[in-house]
Amino acid sequence: MGDIPIIHSVSVVHLCLVAAFLALYACEVVVEGSHVKDELHAIAVRIHYLLDIFVEIPLVSGILVSGVVLTLLVALTVGFWLAHQRALEAFIH
């Protein structure tokens, strides 16, 4: 068995972060829709605020960072492949 390429690992991390963000968004919809009574509205607002600060901001930051890393890895992979193709063509001709 060979090693797992780093681009695959970053892809999995990125997709997991996106899935967690979508799950968080669903939770926020439930929390916002649950304030049937006025006394629960303050609690729902506080929970939503805490979710935004401690969960949503780190998730979005992780999505952005992993997306940039993934983009750079793909660009490097394509550049590496193109350089090898050009070298191969130069060698053949």
Tell me if 16 is assigned to some domain.
yes
> Please, which pLDDT band fits residue 71 given cuts at 50, 70 and 90?
confident
Q: How many domains does the chain have?
A: 1
Tell me if 15 is assigned to some domain.
yes
> Please, which pLDDT band fits residue 86 given cuts at 50, 70 and 90?
confident
Mean confidence (pLDDT) of the chain: 84
Tell me if 60 is assigned to some domain.
yes
pLDDT in tens, 16-32: 999 999 999 998 888 77
Tell me if 32 is assigned to some domain.
yes
Give residue 35's pLDDT. Answer: 57
Give residue 54's pLDDT. Answer: 95
Query: Other C-beta atoms within 10 Å of 33: how many?
Result: 9
Tell me if 1 is assigned to some domain.
no
Tell me if 80 is assigned to some domain.
yes
What is the mean predicted confidence (pLDDT) over 6-16? 92
Residue ranges making up the domain that contains 39? 6-92
